[in-house]
Amino acid sequence: FEKYRPYQPINLKDRTWPNRQITRAPVWCSVDLRDGNQALIDPMTVDQKLKMFKLLVALNFKEIEIGFPAASGTEYQFCRRLIEENLIPHDVCVQVLCQSRDHLIERTFEALQGAHSVIFHLYNSTSKLQREVVFNAGAEEIQEIALKGTRKIKSMRGQLKNCRFRFQYSPESFTGTELDVALQICNAVTAEWGATPKDKIILNLPATVEMSTPNIYADMIEWMHTRLDKRDSIIISIHPHNDRGCAVAASELALMAGGERIEGTLFGNGERTGNVDICTLALNLYSQGVDPALYLGDMPTIMEIVEGCTRIPVHPRHPYAGDLVYTAFSGSHQDAINKGLKALKQKHSPYWEVPYLPIDPHDLNRTYEAVIRINSQSGKGGVSYILETNYGFKMPRSMQVEFSKVIQHYSDKKQKEVTTLEIRKLFYEHYVDK
Cβ proximity to ligand KIV: between 150 and 208 the closer is: 208
Judged by beta carbon distances under 5 to 8 A according to partner kind, the member of Zn ion, ligand KIV, none in contact with residue 117 is none
Number of other residues whose CB lies within 10 A of the CB of residue 186: 28
Which of the ranges 79-87, 204-212, 248-256, 371-379 carries the binding residues for ligand KIV, by CB under 6 A?
A: 204-212
Residue 206 touching ligand KIV (CB under 6 A): yes
Told to check if 95 binds ligand KIV by CB under 6 A, we report no
Q: How far apart are CA 81 and CA 73, in angstroms?
A: 12
385 binds, among ligand KIV, Zn ion, none (CB under 5 to 8 A by kind): none
Minimal CB distance residue for Zn ion: 35
| Minimum separation from the CB atom of position 294 to ligand KIV (A) | 21
Reduce the DSSP state of residue 166 to 3 states and report it: strand
| Least distance CB 146 / ligand KIV (angstroms) | 13
| Interface residue with ligand KIV, options 117, 127, 143, 170 (CB under 6 A) | 170
First to last CA, the chain: 54
* 123 counts as binding ligand KIV under rule CB under 6 A: yes
Q: Is 35 in the site for ligand KIV (CB under 6 A)?
A: yes
CA dihedral 204→209→211→216, nearest 10 degrees, is: 20
Q: Whose Cβ is closer to ligand KIV: residue 239's or residue 366's?
A: 239
CB 83 within 8 A of CB 112: yes
Spatial contact of 220 and 178, defined as CB atoms under 8 Å apart: no
Q: Which of 32, 172, 192, 277 binds ligand KIV (CB under 6 A)?
A: 172
Among 22, 29, 33, 35, binds Zn ion (CB under 5 A): 35
Q: Does 363 bind Zn ion (CB under 5 A)?
A: no
Q: How many CA atoms lie within 13 A of 164 on its CB side?
A: 12
| Shortest distance, position 318 Cβ to ligand KIV, whole Å | 22
Stretch that binds ligand KIV, among 188-196, 201-209, 324-332, 397-405 (CB under 6 A): 201-209
From ligand KIV, Zn ion, none, interface partner of 170 (C-beta below 5 to 8 A by class): ligand KIV
Query: By C-alpha distance, which of 145, 234, 216, 141 is closest to 174?
Result: 216
Of 299, 272, 274, 275, residue with least CA distance to 286: 299
- What is the Cα–Cα distance from 173 to 175, expressed in whole angstroms? 5
What is the nearest approach in angstroms of Zn ion to the Cβ of residue 134?
Answer: 17
Residue 277 touches Zn ion, criterion: CB under 5 A = no
Taking the C-alpha atoms of residue 349 and residue 344, their distance in angstroms, rounded to an integer, is 6
d(CA 16, CA 35): 41
Minimum CB–partner distance for residue 203 and ligand KIV (Å): 11
Binding to ligand KIV in span 323-342, by CB under 6 A: none
Residue of the chain from 239, 261, 318, 380 that contacts ligand KIV (CB under 6 A): 239
Find which of Zn ion, ligand KIV, none residue 123 binds, CB within 5 to 8 Å per kind: ligand KIV
Burial class for 277, CB neighbours closer than 10 Å (0-12, 13-18, 19+)? buried
| Residues 251, 276 contacting (CB under 8 angstroms) | yes
The rounded Cα 433 to chain-centroid distance in angstroms is: 54
Residues 6+ apart with CB under 8 A from 321: 267, 279, 299, 302, 303, 314, 364
Site residues (vs ligand KIV, CB under 6 A) = 35, 97, 123, 170, 172, 204, 206, 208, 239, 241
